[in-house]
A = this chain, B = another copy of it.
Amino acid sequence: MKARVIVTLKNGVLDPQGKAIEGALGGLGFGDIDSVRQGKVFDLDLRATDKAAAEAEIAQMCEKLLANTVIENYAIEID
């Protein structure tokens, strides 16, 4: 079973990496950008076959390793 986890910074958390990308895009002539924020994506391939169980397991993975829930949100998409 394939799943995708998207980890993004919470609103209000500073994102210097995103700011740098925003500046670089401006320098390349892309001027009409209000903001850029960068996050991470994890594509998981699981042997589990039960969708609900897989989602619960992935949520545990996010809480324990994939996301820092103090400053990051995560979203799980399962095919």
Chain A residues with CB under 8 Å of chain B are: 6, 8, 18, 21, 24-25, 28, 30, 32-48, 57, 60-61, 64-66
Residues of B within 8 A of A41 (CB): 6, 8, 38-41
Residues of B within 8 A of A28 (CB): 61, 64-65
Q: Are B45 and A34 in contact (CB under 8 A)?
A: yes
| Copies of this chain held together in the complex | 2
User: Could you list some 28 contacts between A and B, CB below 8 A?
Assistant: A6-B6, A6-B41, A8-B43, A21-B66, A25-B65, A28-B61, A28-B64, A30-B57, A30-B60, A32-B46, A32-B47, A32-B48, A32-B57, A33-B44, A34-B47, A36-B42, A36-B45, A37-B42, A37-B43, A38-B40, A38-B41, A38-B42, A38-B43, A39-B40, A39-B42, A39-B43, A40-B40, A40-B41
